[in-house]
Structures are given as structure tokens and as C-alpha cells.
Structure 1
């Protein structure tokens, strides 16, 4: 007996997602509150509708808690790094240096919210780009709400090949595609095409948010040049070294934008900014009781330069990666089933984490090195350290709890086969038109699990099966899956929570989702139409 796919089971499966979106967008609840109700609903439907026994639910809850720890390990050092930068007035230094090197205000926003956010996504990911760039954007005068929204948009294209290609590797490993296989190269080609659409749209959307059609016209040369760097760079590197397919183009783009700033069209007066916070300087001065700009631009960027350098060295040099990667932690679980016979196989090694090659470790080391450096310079006093640590813990609790609840919710839905019923029911109803909805599945997977990596793990095999059933191109559907997942990173709960926490606007997650959702839907529709046409 298998889990029945009926109107009742499909409705029960989608109910937690609908409730979560309703509470976040319509009722504008904080994520932690909405997640509690979403999880309770998921547990009820899993137990009564999908016949998941207590043992099965317990195992899935444990999986969710374990998976959340690797993300929480990023949250805590990221927030401490923010508090550290705030204490030494690093954001003010960055603001002044950018004004000198890139006089055009709009290009400053592009440099931070698009290029630098993508640059950080290359080796790190897990919300680090949002946590780092949001306060910097606030420092140059952008309102906190948009300081979070802009990097969410700007870094999304790198959702597949970011974190040194982790999402891409997950997609290939789930299907068992060899890097030398023609299917591998074909999937990479389609994936870079879809993410290329996302990156091009991102630049224009940031411009529109900044200053409407006038900003789009003003920024057109820069957006086209940078978009081509991202797109072509990713397409080329994905065929040879997928781990660097976000690192290489974003690094080049970060250098190119300083050259673009020297073009004659960007030497005059910048266009008006409609998302400017005129009180931003006073806000930062109020929150920072230390000296004004007592550190250089290089010193202000020190933690982020250390972060990228450390990530690249450890993860790219095989001998270092192999040595540090051997220190792992994981859990093991016995086989579980539901009353319908849906089976979760036994897992000897579940959620293996190599902590010394993890983004959280890189952030922690970067924070410690930066702290020692600033302490040695006398910019931080010993008494201030305990205060920073206390504030870090206080700010970490809400996002950490929210992420844990959401991942438990995701695991319970998967372990009770709610996600399978949801996907299969949608595919059954849509029939031959399923290709239109392929990226939607990837987007929902990212929203539910806070990661394009997890979305690919959840749905890669399903997409491959659907391609075989419908007679469609496997590479195309896999690319649409991860392309939709990349779009979903714009509203990934972990990204949102890290951003609103470092920006000081905790509780605004629902408003940001509401703002970005129309653009996300537009992109998912475009990728779906292209998938249908080429399939």
C-alpha cells in the first residue's frame, strides 16, 4: 500500500505551506511565530492524515534539529562579526571609501548589493552575503528594509554554483551523473542559461528599486556589462570547474565595477535615490559609541577578505581540504515507515558535517582574527567584549529558533511523504504541462528548507522521474529545478532572518517576502515557459 494521492492528502500536504505564507505575508507575523503554527499543523497532518507514527515523527524531528545546527553555526559568528564591525565603525569607513572610489551613488549600491553579495556567496553562502552586506548598505544611506531586499535579489543567481558549487554537486549526486557525462555538460548549460536570466533580471530590479525607470536608464551600461561578466563567466567555468562558477565571475565583476565607475556617464551627478535613509549617519553614530573613522578601508574589509581568502584556500587546495575534511560529525537513523507503507530507509551516515571546512568555521576564524587585530590596536576594550557576546547571543536566538522549527517542519513533511504527495499530485493534475511548474517545485523546496542544496536533494530524483514519465529532456528539468531553487533563495527563511537581524529590523520578514514575491513569481513563470518551449 502506498500513500494515496487524493484531494484530501494533497490539501493536507499543502496546508502547512499555505498557512506559513498566510501568517508571514498577510498577517505579517514574525518567522518564529509563524513557524511554530506551521510545525504544529505539519505534525497534525503527518500523524492523522499521513499515518506517521510517533517513532517516525521523532526521527524526522531529530533530523531537523541536527540540520539546523550547521546553519546556526553560521548565524552566531556572522552576528558577532557584525557587532564587531559596528563597534569599530567599519561601516562608516567603507561608506567614505566607496564614495571616493565610486562617486556614483547607484554604482555603490550595485557594488555592494550585487557584486560583493555575489562575491561572498561564492565561497560561503548560508545567508552570509545578506548578513554582511545589509549593514554596509545601511552605512551608505540605504533604508534597512531595502538594505536586506537588495542583496537577497543580488546574490540569488549564485544559489546553485555558490558555496563552491554545493547545490550543483547535490543535484548531480542525487541523480548519479558523472562529470564526464554529456548529460552533465548539457545540464550545466541549461542551468547557466536559467541563472543567467536571473542575474540579468536582478541588476535591473535593483535599479528599479533604487530609482525607477530613471535608474534603469542610468544604470543600463553597468548592468549589461556586469550581467555579461556573471553570465559568461559562470557558463565557462561550470564546464571545467563548477566549484568556482560563482567565485570567478563575481570576483571579476567586483573589479570591473571600479572600472565602470570611471566611465564618463558615471562621472556626473548621480540620480536621486528613493530608498535613501537620510538619518542613516546619525543612526550609526548613535549605535556606535567609539571613535569616528579610526580605521582604514582595508581594515574595515579585513574580516570579509579573511573570510574569502580562508574559504578559497581550504576548499580549493585538495590536500588542505582532504585533511580538514576528515574531521566530521554525523548521526545514524534506523528505518522508519508510515501507516501507508512509505519508507524512510536506514541511514548510517546522516547529515555529515565537516566542521573545519564549514562556512561557520570560516566565519568564526575571521571574527577571531579581526577581533585580535582590533583589540591589539586598542579599538576594543576588554569590558566591551562581554557586552558584544551578550548582544550576539540575544540577537541569535530568534533566527536560530526559527530556522530549527522550519527545518523540522520540512523534515516531517518529507518523512511522512507530504512533499512527495504534493509534488506528485501537482504533476498528475498538470500532466503534459508539468514543465511549466518544474521551477516552482524547486522554488518551494528552497523556501521550505532554506537552501537550494536541500531543494535539489529533495526533488532531484523526482524531477528525473517526471522527465522519464513525460518523455521530456532530463537535463532541462534538472536545470529548471535548480534554477527555480536559486530564485527561491530570495525568500529563503535563513537568508531573511540573518539579514533582518543584522539590519536591526527583526519582524519585517513577511513584508520583505510580500515585496519580492511578485518578482519571484515572474521569474519562475519565465523559466517555466522556457522549459516548456525547449522541452
Structure 2
């Protein structure tokens, strides 16, 4: 039995796109208008998406149920596992009493909350995004900022906006590399174009965060430091993406910006310190010895060490060759029988384009969540946390994460049934019919893709072929549209239901997801419009900066 998704099931692409949009409309209404809890919004959205899949796209019932199961379990592993491990590590730091030292050490650098958000949310968050991705950066940095005195909604919102800068390159360039392989091009060409498109966005983000926190006055008071943070990150990302490749722009730009910003803080003293916890007296900040600071930060130093090891290609090969038994697979063949669900072909309607996987892979060791968990286990011994206290921390983490995990599972289930049925492809194909105006809509497709899937990698794989085919049809460089897809996705990340659930879980705002969604949605819409205009300007007024396509042989 075969299911080949029909991308235009109603015969009119715009009518089909409207129906495909109904689950997304349902989600928006639930969070913004009815202000339901995220898991309720996720559940209702899954129901609407299932009805659309069954009655409009004629998806077999068994296929729909299987895609929901696959999506839900993928939401739990590896995504929820990363967040559980990150929150566990954070709780161990608090339980040991060392988080108070961390707070003091940050206060020694700067007690100003505005600069702390740039240091931790922007610089450190970008490093984590370049290393692990999957929501871990926002969870860790937002939790740190709450511990430093920011209000939970502030911390989550600012970190989600800050996270836009490095998302396009993701964890060691995977979003770019995966898309390049899927369309048969060189990842270096796409990475170079992404670096050029992102230049203004990366430079503006730190200033925009400070503006949201304290208006024009805040920008004036912190200008030298924020300028250094923005310029160092932007320059490093541009140079790395254009002259090294797709793997390291996130990590190199983050580390370089963190160093430069710390130096700038020591050179430029802020006269007016801004705090959101009412603290005005900073005379009680204790001078700390370097060894004491390093010891307090040891859980996060271990986090960096383990993440770097896990990101190393040699380690991944070692796990694959020697620990293959830790890569579990859950097959749904007993449920699906001989059903085959094909990927929708965005070039030729009804054409077979590869089979969707109807099994789930569970890499127990090689996933980033396990790297963070190992860092947490080592931290128990380094910080001398009692075993009973460690168990208590993990138990509390599981209890706190129960509803967020349910939410994450539901929104990923929604993404899977939308993708497997062909509904998400309908939305992409509709935008590709806009002719020369497609230069504006190209990044919007990536924006929708990341909203649906929560992942720039998934959005690139989902719509890469469509972007390339449309470029060929319009006789334009496909590297521009492929880069636009990834760039548009970066601002879709801040409104992705998956990201919203993760951020709220990290700062204790479970049940308040609608508040965070309302905070980020307006800025996401403004940014994607500006990116669309920027892509159009490049296409028609600066075509010389677009790298030529370089085909590669995919083994």
C-alpha cells in the first residue's frame, strides 16, 4: 500500500494552501485569542491537522496515527532529553551553592542586567547553538539569567531573540550541510551566501535587545560595549562563513564576541547600572579568587568540554563503530504493515520522491542531551553533591518537565503529520507561484518551515528542493534562495511552538506559553518582512555578491 501526497488536493493551490494553513491558524488562535495552555493548543492543533490529513489529503488512517506517534516520540528524544539534562545540570549548580558564586562572578564583570543578557543570552547562547542546538541554548541561558535576577518572561524572550543570530548555521553547520547534500550543491557556497544575508541582522540583534530592555537611552548608555559585541560577532561570522565553511561560524563568532565584549566591559564603565530586581547597592560584591570562580563554573565548563567531544566527528565515528548497540530503533511495521509513505515531490505533482521513515532511531549515547547529562553526572562528583540531593534534583526536574515534555511531543507530532501528509509542502508550493515576487517570499517559506518543525535543518530539508526548482524556473541563482530559506528560518525559531515550550519550561513559566508567544510573534513578523525585503534588494540590485552554484557529487 502506497501513499503519495498530493500537494494540491483541491485543484486550486491557494485554496489548498488555505486548508493546509488551518492547523496553524488553530494554534495561533489557541495561544493568542483564547490563551489556552500550550499542551491544550498542541492537542487541538494535532486534531485539526489529523482531520486535514485524513479528509483533504486522503492520508491512510494508519499512516496518520503512525506519523503522530513518530513525531511525539521524537519530541521526547532527543529534544526533551536535551532540556531535561540542561535543567538537571542547572539545578545541581544551585543545590551545591555554587550558583551564588557564579552570580557574584558575573556581577564582578558587570552588575548591569542589559550587558548580562548580551554576554550570556547572545554570546554564550550563540556558542551553545553552534555546539548543540535543539533548544538547549535558550534553556540554559534563560535559566542562568533568571538566577541572575531577571524576570522569567524577560529572560526567555530576550534569549529567544538573541538565539536568532546563530541558528542558520546551527550545530556545527548541520542545517547548511544537510540542505546542500539534499540538493547536490557545495555547502560552502550556501554558507557564504547565508553569511552575507545575515550580516545586518546579526549586527542589529544586540542593539535591538537593549532597545527592548531600556529604549534609546539604554543604547546610548551601553553603546561602546554593544557595538563591540555586535561588530565582533558579525565580522567573525562573515569571515568564517565565507572563507572557512559551514561548520564553525556559530562557535568561532560566539567565542570571539565573548572575548571582545568582556574586554570592552573592562574598558568602558557604565555610569547608570540597570537592574530589574531592585538591587542598587553593589558594595557587597565579594572579590573572588580565580580558582573559586573556575570551581563554581565547573558544571558549565564540563558542559562545554563534553559538547565539544560529542560534536567531534571522530567521536561520532567511534560511537557508530564500537557502540552501535546503543542506537536503538523502534519500528512501526506491526502497525503499518506494508504501507509506504512517500515524500512529496515539489517539482512534479504526484511524483514519488523517496520514502518517509516509519521507524524511530534513539541514539542513547551520541545525542547532545547525553553529553549534557554526562556533564551533570561529573558535576555531582566535582561539586561534592550528596547522592540523595542529586536524585532529588533529577526527580524535581522530571516532575517540572512533565507538562513541557507533553507539549513538545504534541507540537512535534503536529509537525510530522503536517509534513507526512503533504500539507506543509502545499504552503511552500503556493508561495513559489508568486513569480518575481518570490525573492520576498523565499525566506518566508523557511520561516514557516521552522515554525512547523522547530528546526532549521528540518525546514531546509523540507523546502530546499522547492527553493532550488523555483530559482531554476525564474532563471536566478539557487544559492540565494537556498540561503534565504535558512535565513528566514532563524526568525521562525522564536515563534516555534517547540521553542516556546522549551523556553517556558526552563524559566518556570509552564502554562504561560501564550504570554511568551505574544511577546515574540510581533518581532518575528517584523524581522521576516525585513529579511524578505533584503533578499529582494540583493537579488535585483546586488546580484554580484551571490556565489555561483557549485555542484558536488554526493556519495
Instruction: Output the CA distance in 2 between the equivalents of 1:125 and 1:103.
Output: 28
**Deviation larger for 56-65 or 329-338:** 329-338
Residue number in structure 1 paired with 2:319: 324
Mapped pair 1:403 → 2:408 = yes
Give the Cα–Cα distance (whole angstroms) in 1 for the partners of residues 502 and 107 of structure 2: 26
Q: In the TM superposition, what whole-angstrom CA distance separates every residue of 1:273-327 from its partner, at most 9, and x where no partner exists?
A: 4xx133899xxxxxxxxxxx9x9432332222112122223423x4333112443
| Separation in structure 1 between the aligned mates of residue 340 and residue 450 of structure 2, nearest angstrom | 26
Give the TM-score, by structure 1 length.
0.88
Preserved contact between residue 120 and residue 141 of structure 2 (Cα < 8 Å): yes
Q: 1: CA distance between counterparts of 2:160 and 2:408? A: 17
CA contact (8 A) 1:200 1:223 kept: no
Report the Cα distance in structure 1 between the residues aligned to 2:468 and 2:509, rounded to whole angstroms.
41
Q: Per-residue displacement from partner, 1:52-104 (whole Å, max 9, x unpaired)?
A: 11132133223313422211221221221222122223432222111112354
1:336 counterpart SS class: strand
Structure 1 residue matching 2:88: 3-state secondary structure:
helix
Aligned to 2:530: 526
Q: 2:109–2:266: 8 Å Cα contact kept in structure 1?
A: no
| Number of residue pairs the alignment of both structures matches | 508
Counterpart secondary structure, 1:356 = coil
Q: d(CA) in 1 for partners of 2:51 and 2:404?
A: 24
Name the CA distance, whole Å, in 2 between partners of 1:527 and 1:338.
29
Gap change, CA 1:166 and 1:258, over 3 Å in 2? same
Q: Which residue does 1:372 correspond to in 2? A: 381
CA distance in 1, matches of 2:357, 2:522: 42
Structure 2 contact 342–356 (Cα < 8 Å) conserved: no
Other-structure match for 1:60 = 67
With over 3 angstroms needed to count, the CA separation of the structure-2 counterparts of 1:272 and 1:76, relative to structure 1, is closer
Change (3 A) 1:162 1:300: farther
Matching residue within 194, 198, 206 for 1:195: 198
Note if contact 1:51-1:338 (Cα within 8 Å) is conserved in structure 2. Answer: no
Distance 1:461 1:350, change over 3 A: farther
State the alpha-carbon separation in 1 of the partners of residues 40 and 159 from structure 2: 25
Moved more, 328-337 or 486-495: 328-337
1:439 aligns with 2:450: no
Q: Describe the SS at the equivalent of 1:242.
A: coil
Contact between 1:445 and 1:452, CA under 8 Å: does it hold in 2?
Answer: yes
Counterpart of 2:309? Answer: 313
Give 1:419 shift.
1.0
Contact 1:9 1:50 survives alignment (8 Å): no
Give the aligned partner of residue 240 of structure 1: 244
For the 8 Å contact 2:82–2:369, the answer to whether it is kept is yes
* 2:478 equivalent to 1:470: no
Q: Corresponding residue for 1:303?
A: 299
What corresponds to 1:272 in structure 2? 274
- What are the residue-to-residue correspondences of 1:367-516 with 2, within 5 Å? 367-375=376-384, 380-428=385-433, 430-516=434-520
Say whether the 8 Å CA contact 2:23–2:46 is kept in structure 1.
Answer: yes
Task: Evaluate the alpha carbon distance shift between residue 299 and residue 501 of structure 1 in structure 2; reply closer, same or farther with a 3 A threshold.
Answer: farther
Displacement of 1:14 after TM fit? 0.1
1:369 positional shift: 0.5
Deviation at 1:508, TM superposition (A): 2.3
Counterpart CA distance in 2 for 1:89 and 1:27 is 41
Query: C-alpha deviations, 1:488-511, integer Å up to 9, x for none?
Result: 122233332222222111122222
Measured at CA, do residues 278 and 406 of structure 1 come closer, stay the same or move farther in structure 2, by a change above 3 Å?
Answer: same
Q: TM-score, normalised by structure 2?
A: 0.85
Q: Is the 8 A contact 2:471 2:481 kept in 1?
A: yes
In structure 2, the CA distance between the partners of 1:77 and 1:11, relative to structure 1 (3 Å rule), is: same
Which shows bigger deviation, 60-69 or 248-257?
Answer: 60-69
**What are the ranges of 5 or more consecutive residues in structure 1 without an aligned counterpart?**
282-292
Q: How does 1:149-160 map to 2 (within 5 A)?
A: 149-160=157-168
Structure 1 residue 533: Cα displacement: 2.2
Q: Cα RMSD between the aligned structures?
A: 2.7
Match of 1:290 in 2: none
